[in-house]
Structure 1
Amino acid sequence: MLSPKSFPFIEATLPIIAERISSITPNFYNRLFAAHPELLDGIFSRSNQKNGTQQQALAGSIAVFATYLVKHPGTAPETMLARVAHKHTSLGVAEEQYPIVYKHLFDAIAEDLGDALTPEIADAWTEVYWLMAHALIKIEKGLYAQQANAGIYAPWKLVERAETGVDSVILSFEPADGTPVTVAKPGQFVSVRMPMADGLRQVRQYTLSNDVEHARRTITVKLDVNGEFSPVIHNNLEIGGVIELSNPYGDLVIDNEGSPLVIATAGIGCTPSAAALQTLAAHGSTRKITVLHADQEITTWPLREQMLESIGKLPGATLSTWFERGELPEGLNAQSGYMDLAAALSEDAQVYLCGPLPFMNAVRTQALEAGIPAERIHYEVFGPDVWLAA
């Protein structure tokens, strides 16, 4: 809870900080990496630094947290904190790194605000930072403790590789040493850490798309020809190759039973739903499930065969598809154009979204307009969560 002393200062300066934070965060990261360049080796993505998404995600999380403290005294944005904590633990963020972030973030704030940053305002925002930091540290310690091992990464060997859709590849790994394996849940992800051409290690998160409850890790990676990471996986990783994978994390987990479920995905965003449907089928779920998928055309749909097989085993599941071009396939309730959720929604539905941000924004708006409460609309963003503030 924000103290009575700090509350009026945060309430008064929140509009200014919220407006300025997106300008402050680039300066913060410049300061951070100048003082600690080792953080770019295996923790922070330099691609996300270049395109600005990491700065946007940090700015959004700070603004959301402070706004929540003002609007909902005595509570905290648990969903946001959990999302950030799962990403942090998949990267191995440690408690001792929070003071480092504090120093360089507040140096950047002081430089940006100048004399406007009075001692009282600085103290109030310091309190906000440490309230958020301590909340995250507590969650992260709990997440680390749930794992079957104390490591951040372990070596895994590529044992199977298969093409799916267009420019996407399914990669299956098995343990390369005796590190105990944590059983994953459908919808969770792992961090993949690999050295790039210059020797610097980079990390990306990939949702587990298959074999979730087994001693395997299967991910599906779409090629970004202009990216830094996915071309290395597509072009350099061969059967027998060993790479580093983190323990599984992520809070977008779908239960076997419950209220009606609507899963809406587009493109490679189908990976969490593919794993969830496979697991639901394996457990004999009778839950009412409406699966909606949009893609460019039938041939570009990744994991199509796996999803159709799972849906066929689920008595309560139905499927509708949308394709932007090409001949519409038979038997998939296929339509041309863009997804329309209207007919799929019921008052008690739980809605799960995954795909490009414009897609999720459009279908989330449809769900809200149909009367689905925001807390029953769940989503997954690949990369920094720049959608957080929304």
Structure 2
Amino acid sequence: MPYDVVELRQHFPALQGPTAYFDGPGGTQTPREVGAAVADTLTGPLSNRGLTADSQLRAERAVEQFRLAYADFLGAPPGGIVYGRSATQLTYDLSRTIAKTWRPGDEVVVSRLDHDCNVRPWVQAAAAAGATVRWIDFDPATSEVPADSVAAAITPRTRLVAVTGASNLIGTRPPVRAIADAAHAAGALVYVDGVHYAAHVFVDVAELGADLFVCSPYKLLGPHCGVLAAAPALLDSLDFDKLLPATDEVPERFELGTLPYEVMAGATAAVDFLAGIAPGGGDRRARLAASYAAIEEHESRLLQRLEDGLAALGDAVTLHSRAASRTPTLLLTFPGRKAWDAFQFLAGRDVLAPAGSFYAYEPFRRLAVDDEHGLRLGLAPYSDDDDITRALEGIAAWLDA
């Protein structure tokens, strides 16, 4: 069946307003069903987890359903699904824990392509442990990660490789499996930031070769939180700091304090909503696969329209998203003009395409653009042809102004 974006958009109250949203890489709009799940859980009855009162059982079910949903979403065991406040928080917690085993002479590999969430925690943990940091680079001219950069960065001393599944700035999808294979051959762990990747690509953690994989439901139609997936045995081997009375069980011992059951319910509802985008049967993971195939086809068609329209504007626009394999996310700069001015002009026309470096400190610096901001256009499952037309017309009008 054709992708019915008109029907899909009816589920999003925000999309009934005048704004065309291109800010999905920073956080998507949210369907009504997700908000209802949050409200229904929060208004209860709801108590701390337990096995006696109905309010306790509802909290238990919220946690269980969250783990099952993200196990299906990521292709990971439910016992390895960890809730976190954000991907940044989870990465800091894991970096400090894993670094307890590092010693001077050990090496940690990070990437110039990554959001700072998957760079600074590892750099700081390495510094505290006396470990050496090595870098995987990318080519600003092509947006690609050269194989020789990966080969040079990973050595027999490598203890961990942290790499993105997809750049939130320019969309590049680096060869994660090849990087993971090289890391594993050296005996190193692989930590994949899948925050931007999981918003656009069907995830299979094992197929990627990730030992630890983190994503953020608010980038894929859900509420603000983070999710970590790993093998339970790996989590069990980590010496995680926790309160003395708190459980030693995995994954609970990685979840500090009382969990926000209502947020977990909303995150579960986001997975169920995604699984229902493409009509079809099968279990939830099969339905997710079908939905993501449909989403990818829809977003790819819109991306082609957007790129063709930008190309028609000639040298007035510089496109920094050039990799052969990438998400529908474009970073633009405008020679001699300020991307921030373009952002404000477009916002005045109800087109939300933010300007900035978007916490992607290393890749933005590596691109060495003249402007301190880039304009980012990110597509989402609810983006439509009218959005593309309005963005292109708005950019053209600003350039002519």
Q: Same fold (TM over 0.5)?
A: no
TM-score (norm 2): 0.28
More strand by share: 1
TM-score (norm 1): 0.28
The structure with higher relative contact order (CA 8 Å, sep 6+) is: 2
